[in-house]
Structure 1
Amino acid sequence: MSHSVLVVMDPIVSIKTKKDTTFALMLEAQRRHWQVYYCQPQDLYLTKGHVFANCQQVQLQDNPDDWFSYIDAAPVEVNCGEFSAILMRKDPPFNMNYIYSTYLLELAQNQGALVVNDPASLRDCNEKLFTAWFPEHTPKTLVSANPHKLKAFAKELGDVILKPLDGMGGASIFRAKADDPNLSVIIETLTSHGQDLAMAQQFIPEITEGDKRILIVNGEVIPYTLARIPSKGETRGNLAAGGSGVPMPITEEEKAIGEAIAPELVKRGLLFVGLDVIGRYVTEINVTSPTCMRELENEYHINIGEKLFAALEQQLMA
């Protein structure tokens, strides 16, 4: 049976194929003889009770200088319910346009398409806040818009990480100690003077060993991790913030953390997820467009995308 997938993502012309997880997933779909279509979130639209995509079918090749071509010159209008699956792979920011896209994708799901990750769970599972559902695996955390509470939390712990709830790639993440002269202004900036919620977490010294990315595919914990090691003088391991990625086998403790969280992910229709783990603590649960797949595949000669598409094909046959 022929399958088709619509990949909703950032502009395909500007991706870095060497490290782009979405591109690797598209290659796997093509390898399995799926028809691969591409669009951006703004190309989705609703009319007469149905969701359509203004999209183009693409031909892919793993060549960093020439990685895709359009099969037809002009975009086509396709009823999203007719796709076998839709991959929502738009990077944050998680703003209102993103949320509107999830409403459209949820309707497309109701009309026949298998959407990954589940649109309702994309809305419900904020990548920072979702950690609170697993308190036994998270560092001491405070989420508040109240500057006095955040400052008291920092003074109590002595060393904290402060961050917004909607960022990515290490943007606007601060480390502050209790006597930091900039603590007040950091809190004022993150909370917009007490108007916006922000997160404060206990600083975890094991960040020097890396912020580990653990991938979980359809409930299966991948047995390798990518340790994002902060550059000298940094506390952020994010690759976008200058960290270096070091593939390594997963530890037993990390595997146990992943296996403890995995059942809830599957229950919520979150089939492709990346946990951020520092030491023995989960600091974020990435559900929008988890990355680091290509680095692990290239290092260990494994095919993680195959696991996702095998799961999709099994669900489509059910």
Structure 2
Amino acid sequence: MNDGTHPDDHADEPAATDDTPTAPKPGRRYTRRRLLTTSAVAAGAAAVAVGTTAVLTNDGTPPTIKPSGRNRFDGKVVIVTGATSGIGRAAAKLFAAEGAKVGFCGRREKLGAEVEREIRSDGGEATYIRADVRKESQVRKFVDRVADEYGGLDVCFNNAGITLQKPLHEYTAAEWDDVVDTNLRGTFLCMKYEVPHLIERGGGSVVITSSSNVHSTGEERSAYTASKHGLLGLANCAAYDYAEHNIRVNTLIPGTTNTELVRRVAGAMDLPDAVWEEMAAAYGRANAPTMKRLATPEEIAVGALALASPDFSYMTAGSLTLDGGDSNRG
């Protein structure tokens, strides 16, 4: 968004020292950008205080995203990072529903086990492995274990990331490093250990979650935006590095998406669901230029599946923007 409150809801990982992030506090790391203004949050809280029930009245109803039924990933092995919630979670479930064997990571073990159970109960195949993408040894073990367990590797959706909002000069070096190490270095580490498996397989596809901040950014996002621009460069160069090995590398560029962690960052976890939905709908009506609503995680996740699939066989060193037209507002 262009109003300085743009949440690029792609990341699964919570703050590095907090597995259950609450409302943002000054100087604290968290995974989503602020979704709503203070006045909007206050209005929602006021509705609860007087005993009213908020009703979702957004102009458009999000579509229900279902598996394509084409089994595009039948027999394929897929890795997803940052998959215990949000877009990563939605992608892991959709990959599995289209026949993939999915190995996924995140730091929150309870949520990871929950996603694994959901996929298996729906008839899919998935394995959750706890891993922190900032830790090289954990990344290597995660990637190698997935490849060993499922007999190779075909698709990698590198999605994990974090953000921290503050003016550039107020970052400590450690804070800057944490954002860049998670978003940019973490993706490098994943690809460092994924690519050899893809080469051995005879080819494959890598999809990297960047951010619509590469098109339109705002204040207090320097570390985040710099790291997301860096991912575009990483992906484009890697596409040239590995084209001869039949490996495609592309970026997914999401816009504002309605997830639990956006709700948590907005301080709305204790509000009734109907109140939260009205708050999110109000933000979408005011800020989404065309759709007048936020995206759903599934609407973004289908972009990852498309980029990874044979449908996009001639696309590499490219990007797919799913931001409801926001980046074209000027």
What interval of TM-score do these two structures reach, taking the shorter chain for normalisation?
0.3 to 0.5
Q: TM-score, normalised by structure 1?
A: 0.35
Point out the structure with the larger helix share.
2
Larger Rg: 1
Point out the structure with the larger strand share.
1
Q: TM-score, normalised by structure 2?
A: 0.34
